Amino acid sequence: MRKMKNFMVVHQDPQVSWEKVEENWSRMVDLETATWLRTYFNVDEKVRYCLWRAPDKETLETIFADFKVSWESIMNVKETIPDIWAREYQAQMEAEEKREIAESREM
């Protein structure tokens, strides 16, 4: 079994309809050579940031070529999360939540 790595893929193609994007998503969920993990997107700007697990960049290039999906970049990435870096992460999140509740009551 080949080692899988994380890749961030940026797609931005104003000519592609949003319906086509959604159609491709429904077809890409069951691939065997790579795993689509999640996408952050802005419909108005027609930009998508997709996180994939794949053995290499070339595997993703082949998938996108087969689906006729363009990309701006495919980059091997690592991940970190705030609680690794913040000693008081939970306290910070609770304080933020309390502040948001207080602000919503003031409106």
Per residue in 45-95, pLDDT tens?
A: 889 999 999 999 999 999 999 999 999 999 999 987 777 677 667 777 788
pLDDT at 1: 55
Q: Is 90 domain-assigned?
A: no
pLDDT at 77: 96
pTM of the model: 0.72
Mean pLDDT of the residues in the chain = 88
Q: Is 107 domain-assigned?
A: no
| Residue numbers of the domain that contains 56 | 5-78
Q: Residue 31 carries which side chain, given as an amino acid letter?
A: L
Q: Is 21 domain-assigned?
A: yes
Can you give 18-86 as a three-state secondary structure string?
A: HHHHHHHHHHHCCCCCCEEEEEEEECCCCEEEEEEEECCHHHHHHHHHHHCCCCCEEEECCCCCHHHHC
Tally the domains of the chain: 1
In this prediction, residue 97 has a pLDDT band, given cuts at 50, 70 and 90, of confident
Q: Is 105 domain-assigned?
A: no
d(CA 44, CA 36): 22
- Contact (Cβ atoms closer than 8 angstroms) between residue 44 and residue 23: no
